Structure 1
């Protein structure tokens, strides 16, 4: 029994084709099965994580509301503080509240979290800019100037709140 190369090819080519097709079918099946398991796991977790996500959205909404200049200035009165002490107190209040809520970022999209962080940073930057100006010399004057500065347009926290609201609507 002497098999020639042609006879060997005739015997092995169909076997290779069948093997390749079987491999493709099995790998496609396994990939679909893995995707199905991931989908089902996510679907079963959604009812459990939705209340936690909603609580996170509520907490960050509260943070953004409290960071609005009118709210911040009503809660944080200058008392007997100097201008620079009052400026630092306002910034510290924002930073502390943000840090208190920082773990909530795991429930937000990266884009939403970046919008929230940008709102915080912009608010702090505006407070610092007003504090560096020569228009105010006392904490009360600084307070009034901050109110005037933020009255020119919507607070950055408003923009962030709108973004958070849109993201919450996408959950439903």
Structure 2
């Protein structure tokens, strides 16, 4: 019996040291796993920020280019009749919007809703102006530019909201 007790007394410190070493190694492995997870999330956030900023840039360009006055000024009248010119403006606006529609996943729903509202308001303004009997396209163009200067531009409102949303990121 004494021999068994003596053997256990020799074995006990070794077992305790082994258990302590195992505990320390497990803690280090957990810390390393947490560090790697944190580093991965940091890299993903960095990449995500870059993509989000590109989306904000693209939509800023869309909103800036498609204020009613800028849309009219950059779209030549060509040989269009007033009705055809209004349809051309709407087509250009819709195409640019469709080109940027995927960017909505990087914006808040409120911001995206304002952008959609601004686009739709511009289309309504173009259609309303196209209802008049314009003798030529230049009269329609002048009326649209004058209307955009006299009214609150929804594109500018959406752009201001977009800028405020970007500012909140910093």
Q: Same fold (TM over 0.5)?
A: yes
Please list, as runs of the form range in 1=range in 2, the aligned pairs for 1:3-152 lying within 5 A after superposition.
43-134=42-133, 136-152=134-150
CA offsets per residue over residues 69-120 of structure 1, 9 Å max, x none? 2211121011211011100000000000000001111100111000000000
Q: Where do 5+ consecutive residues of structure 2 fail to align?
A: 1-33
Aligned in 2, Cα 1:43/1:167: closer, same or farther, shift over 3 Å? same
- Alignment: residue pair count: 134
Q: CA deviation at 1:43?
A: 5.0
Cα root mean square deviation, aligned: 1.8
Confirm or deny: 8 A CA contact 2:62 2:97 kept in the other structure. yes
1:156 paired residue number: 154
Give TM-score scaled by structure 1 length.
0.73
Structure exhibiting the larger radius of gyration computed from Cα positions: 2
Q: CA deviation at 1:44?
A: 4.8
